[in-house]
């Protein structure tokens, strides 16, 4: 142990710290290999129209099954990719897979998550443009989802990046609104094409009145700025009803489908009545 600057606090040597660092390093090595071997997979979560529950879009989500360990959550491996310089490669690999897939689904739109770290590469926008050309996908069908951190930390650079991506025809959504600071100032300033309400806010609806009012105010504000709203993490019919009435035009969550394989999405498209029946039931129930 050693005394910390004479302020009376003690830092204790903890062997677990080394272990943690080591296992993190090993995970980084494994992730690098997995990307190089093309082992990162993409699953697709349904996004439905809030009124009809028709499938309108899918969100691409990265999946990694680590050899000898099993599945690793993106909440674990995405941050590792971000701090180890792997996010550029990972991001482009997800984008190109998802665009190739979208080529088989002419009636759907797609959203793909983008990390701030990807903008650090000055060639990022060129790589994105090339990926679209290769897949022959119209950029207007694709929304890039970004969280607020980048817009708060480097607003100037974020604006430049956003303008360049938009000039390709892409749309930009603000992801996870309500999970962090979520100041409305930059919502107006950046003019996002869509806002996604974080699932923590959606799930707070079950806790009653105040939460419902907060959510209604948030959606109303976005709409007054002309920004359409998707709600994430919708798990119950009650949540779906509240969100639809509040003015969300799109819903996403386990109620409509988990992230799933391309084959499962294709199967879902073959039986659209299943989702529509659910919508009709809700309308009957007063939604």
CB-based burial label for 279 (10 Å; 0-12, 13-18, 19+):
buried
CA dist 46 and 258 (Å) reads 7
Other Cβ atoms less than 10 A from the Cβ of 65: the count is 12
Which residue, judged by CB position, is nearest to Mg ion in the bound state? 145
Half-sphere exposure of 247 (CA within 13 A, CB side): 16
In the numeric block, which tokens belong to residue 270? 């073959």
- 72: nearest Cα among 18, 26, 22, 37: 26
In the complex, the smallest distance separating the C-beta of residue 31 from ligand C2E, rounded to whole angstroms, is 13
Nearer to ligand C2E, 30 or 145 (CB): 145
- 248: nearest Cα among 275, 274, 216, 277: 216
Q: Work out what residue 233 binds among ligand C2E, Mg ion, none; the CB cut-off runs from 5 to 8 Å by kind.
A: ligand C2E
For binding to ligand C2E (CB under 6 A), which residues are involved?
Answer: 45, 61-62, 73-75, 78, 91, 94, 113-115, 145, 175-176, 199, 232-235, 253-254, 259
In the numeric block, which tokens belong to residue 60? 């691409």
In the complex, the smallest distance separating the C-beta of residue 93 from ligand C2E, rounded to whole angstroms, is 9
Q: Does 88 bind Mg ion (CB under 5 A)?
A: no
Contact flags string 157-176 toward Mg ion, x per CB under 5 A: ------------------xx
Nearer to ligand C2E, 4 or 33 (CB): 33
In the complex, the smallest distance separating the C-beta of residue 1 from Mg ion, rounded to whole angstroms, is 39
Q: Does 148 bind Mg ion (CB under 5 A)?
A: no
Contacting range for Mg ion; rule: CB under 5 A; set: 45-53, 63-71, 140-148, 275-283: 140-148
Interhelix angle 155-167/124-135, rounded to 10 degrees, is 20
Q: Does 113 bind Mg ion (CB under 5 A)?
A: yes
Contacting range for Mg ion; rule: CB under 5 A; set: 85-93, 109-117, 151-159, 207-215: 109-117
In the complex, the smallest distance separating the C-beta of residue 118 from ligand C2E, rounded to whole angstroms, is 7
- 52: nearest Cα among 272, 212, 264: 272
- 71: nearest Cα among 34, 17, 101: 34
Q: Which residues bind Mg ion (CB under 5 A)?
A: 113, 145, 175-176, 232
């Amino acid at each position: 142990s050693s005394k910390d600057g004479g302020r009376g606090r003690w830092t204790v040597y903890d062997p677990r710290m080394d272990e943690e660092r080591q296992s993190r390093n090993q995970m980084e090595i494994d992730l690098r290999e997995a990307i190089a071997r093309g082992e990162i997979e993409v699953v697709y979560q349904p996004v439905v129209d809030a009124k009809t529950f028709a499938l309108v879009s899918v969100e691409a989500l990265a999946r990694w099954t680590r050899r000898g360990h099993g599945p690793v959550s993106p909440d674990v491996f995405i941050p590792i990719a971000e701090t180890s310089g792997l996010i550029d490669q990972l991001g482009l690999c997800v984008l190109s897979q998802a665009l190739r897939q979208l080529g088989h689904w002419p009636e759907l739109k797609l959203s793909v998550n983008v990390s701030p770290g990807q903008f650090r590469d000055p060639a990022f926008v060129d790589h994105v443009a090339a990926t679209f050309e290769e897949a022959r996908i119209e950029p207007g069908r694709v929304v890039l989802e970004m969280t607020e951190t980048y817009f708060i930390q480097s607003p100037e650079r974020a604006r430049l990046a956003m303008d360049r991506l938009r000039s390709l025809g892409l749309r930009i959504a603000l992801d996870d609104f309500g999970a962090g600071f979520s100041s409305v100032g930059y919502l107006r300033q950046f003019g996002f094409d869509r806002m996604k309400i974080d699932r923590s806010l959606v799930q707070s609806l079950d806790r009653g009145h105040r939460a419902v009012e907060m959510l209604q105010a948030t959606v109303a504000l976005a709409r007054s700025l002309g920004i359409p709203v998707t709600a994430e993490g919708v798990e119950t019919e009650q949540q779906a009803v509240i969100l639809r009435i509040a003015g969300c035009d799109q819903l996403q969550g386990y109620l409509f489908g988990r992230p799933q394989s391309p084959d499962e999405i294709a199967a879902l498209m073959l039986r659209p009545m299943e989702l529509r029946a659910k919508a009709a039931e809700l309308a009957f129930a007063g939604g």
